[in-house]
Amino acid sequence: MKHDVKDSFKFLVSFTTLISIFIVGSALAQMTGYASSAKPGSALVKTVDSQEGVKQHENHASSPLISPQPDRRDGNDLLIMDAHSGDIPVIVEAESGVIGSIFRTGQDGDITYVATKTNYIGTGNPSDENSLITYQVAFQDSGYYNLFARLRVGSGAFDDDSFFGARGFGEKNVASSADWVFINGLASAGFSSPTDVVDGPGSLGSQVWKWVNITQTFYPGSTPTKSFYVSIDDLENAFQVAAREDGLDIDKFAFGKSNLYFTVNALDHELPGSITKPEPDSSQFYQGPP
């Protein structure tokens, strides 16, 4: 009889323990969302959506998660939550920001652009709040970005080819030269052929719409491509430019991952950049006399 009671007691303890484990396990599964949203054979991961913030979704083979991934060009260890979301340039229309009174908007066919009304001779900083345009730029991915601009230098050439660009994201002090880059010499820079890779200064002249790689060509330091960094925790950033010479028309800006190459066509049509630099089309080269 004593043996039967002892065995029954052991059975009761074991059964109670199993019930407790089951209850705790179910509660944890509901808290993490595994019990309600995962399908067999899939794993839950976190991705970033610029509109909804961090959310959970199923990780399928067609959309791999890469975190972190080494930068493919300059060796940065970046947190990339989607392998493809950062490949497309982020386009910012020049007239879409909060425009200071020193600027005006203009029209050239279907192109709306901004230009300053007056010349300014300072080279260190813009000095006047009215000379600013402030943009709020939403990114899909973290990492380092190059700044590009589509612009047209006026008939004054080197007297119409400068503006101020902010050093990195955020609202800047107009009286602090440490916050600004004097961007000058645009009269002899840029690319316009659709297959041109907007890499380096380029050599186009005045009175033509062209794309210029602003960070590579004009931002100082040994690593100018690190001038604009987007954190995974803050995908929306303020960006500012300021007026200087009145013959410079600006159509739009673009931010493209610094580890990618973008052609004029890619920037014009918001197409993905390339990991390797595209080779020029040899069929367009001069082949000599027949």
Give 103-116 pLDDT, tens digit per residue. Answer: 999 999 999 999 99
pLDDT at 56: 31
Give the lowest-confidence range in 92-101, 205-214, 216-225. 216-225
Average per-residue pLDDT for the chain: 79
Residue 1 pLDDT > 70? no
pLDDT at 188: 96
Cβ-proximal residues to 121 (8 Å cutoff; 6+ apart), any chain = none
Query: Could you read off the pLDDT of 243-289 as tens digits, one per residue?
Result: 999 999 999 999 999 999 999 999 999 999 999 998 876 565 556 66
Q: What is the pTM of this model?
A: 0.70
Residue 38 pLDDT > 60? no
Query: Could you read off the pLDDT of 138-196 as tens digits, one per residue?
Result: 999 999 999 999 999 999 999 999 999 999 999 999 999 999 999 999 999 999 999 99
Q: What percent of the chain has pLDDT over 90?
A: 64
Residue 41 pLDDT > 50? no
pLDDT at 53: 35
pLDDT at 58: 32
Q: How confident is the model at residue 5 (pLDDT cuts 50, 70, 90)?
A: very low
Mean pLDDT of the 6-19 span = 51
| C-beta separation of 134 from 238 below 8 A | yes
What is the domain partition of the chain in residue ranges? Answer: 2-37, 90-277
Side-chain half-sphere exposure of 147, counting CA atoms within 13 A: 27
Pick the CATH number of 90-277 from 2.60.120.260, 3.40.50.2000, 2.60.450.10, 3.40.50.880: 2.60.120.260
pLDDT at 100: 98
